[in-house]
Amino acid sequence: MLAIVGGLLWYSQLPTRHKAIVKTTLLHKTGLVDSDWQVENQAKEYKMLSPTFIVDDIYKSMEGPKASNYVMLSQDSTLLWITGFKVEAHDAKTGQKMSNDFICHMNVDINDTKYYSHFGLEDRIGKQYPRLTSLSHGMESFDFPQGFGVPMKGNDILFVTTQTLNHNIKDAYFKVKHKVAITYQEEDHKIKPLMSKTAFIMLPYDKHDPYKSPTDPGTDFCIPVETKNHSYDDGTGNKLSGHWVIPTGKNTYRSNINHQLAIKDSLRLHAAAIHVHPFATQIMLFNKTTKKPVFVSKVTNHKNSIGLTNIENFSSKEGIWLFANQEYEIVLEVNNTSKEDQDMMGSMFLFFYDKEMDAILKN
């Protein structure tokens, strides 16, 4: 009894996202809800149906129940080309499609050690977080422009994580599954390879008093949502956060991303998937040297509830050149129309033509 009471007291003091982790783990381990991934791989589309998630509370971005699974597109080392991603919410009992408001995000990570070693590109290992891409609320599907794809050996490992969301329904009780699809093609010498680079806004905060309100919250300072996750060091001891709090009203946030792009000479951008949270209205990749946007993504919010109706992606067969001797930043505009502080992120998964990989594949 003491252990039970102590456990309940401990659970009650957890933040919402940690409660969701504990609750989901307990439900899956005890078998009260199914915990298995259902996998189907045919017609060049790898499909997965997630375990059941119990959505029984308000879960803001990054807070809801989630699950992860390893993916292998084939059983051998045949060269495959990933061309697109999709995620949908479905009713766990009826199988019917549900609102996208129950989708927070779906992340796809690579094992960069194995992936780059297969192509003799060991110098790329560990240079950036090995996230291939992410789909999120407002952008639940994403395809590369025709003639482009991400090459990988069929028996390489992908790590997929999908998480639920519920901004609006207070008395909720839904059993939700996420249906994930990864489309791919077999070896095709006409496809051009893409490399992924992740870039996101990082804002400084006071490491000694992180939750102290900045004098001007729309400039170069922030309150982090928490200091354990999405917290970084700028190399000189200053702390930065990629997940921060926005006050009510309109604000603009910007962050230099040259160190994240790590362009050696030049790169040609062909696609971009965007991740932002509700109340974002626009995000752009901006060239500070030319004082012109590389591209602008408009964000449409729900009119009568909290949520994202659509996030514009960027896709171009011709591509746009980015250069090492120019300066780039992400600029995010928000309009918090609610009556309370909200949380925010501004990320881009940028896909560039990979000249080095192309030469390797041709040989």
**Quick one: which H or E segment has residue 6?**
helix 2-12
> CATH number of the domain that 315 lies in?
2.60.120
Q: Given a cut of 60, is residue 219 above it in pLDDT? A: no
Among candidate residues 138, 171, 190, the one where a domain is terminated = 190
pLDDT band at 11 (very low <50, low <70, confident <90, very high): low
Tell me the mean pLDDT in the region 113-124: 93
In sequence order, what are the residues at sequence separation of 6 or more whose Cβ sits closer than 8 angstroms to the Cβ of residue 136?
103, 104, 105, 106, 275, 276, 311
Q: Given a cut of 90, is residue 162 above it in pLDDT? A: yes
**Cβ atoms of residues 260 and 347 within 8 Å:** no
How many folded domains does the chain comprise? Answer: 2
Which range marks the domain in which residue 167 is found? 2-190
Distance, in Å, from the CA atom of 176 to the CA atom of 66, rounded to the nearest integer, reads 11
What is the end-to-end Cα distance of the chain in Å, rounded? 67
The pLDDT of residue 65 is 93
Q: Tokens for 115, please give them.
A: 């992936």
Tell me the mean pLDDT in the region 289-294: 97
Among candidate residues 150, 175, 190, the one where a domain is terminated = 190
Distance, in Å, from the CA atom of 298 to the CA atom of 348, rounded to the nearest integer, reads 13
3-class SS of residue 258: helix
Core vs surface per residue 59-89: b (16+ CB within 10 A) or e: bbbbbbbbbebebebbeeeebbbbbebbbbb
Same structural domain for residues 44 and 184? yes
Among the ranges given (34-48, 55-69, 108-122, 313-327), the one the predictor scored with the smallest mean pLDDT: 34-48
In sequence order, what are the residues at sequence separation of 6 or more whose Cβ sits closer than 8 angstroms to the Cβ of residue 241?
202, 203, 204, 205, 222, 224, 225, 227, 230, 231, 232
* pLDDT tens digit sequence for 201-212: 999 988 888 887
Q: Given a cut of 80, is residue 273 above it in pLDDT? A: yes
Q: Given a cut of 60, is residue 217 above it in pLDDT? A: no
Same structural domain for residues 155 and 216? no
pLDDT band at 30 (very low <50, low <70, confident <90, very high): confident
Distance, in Å, from the CA atom of 102 to the CA atom of 307, rounded to the nearest integer, reads 10
Q: Given a cut of 90, is residue 56 above it in pLDDT? A: yes
The pLDDT of residue 220 is 65
Same structural domain for residues 344 and 262? yes
Percent of residues, the chain, with pLDDT higher than 90: 71
Same structural domain for residues 180 and 307? no
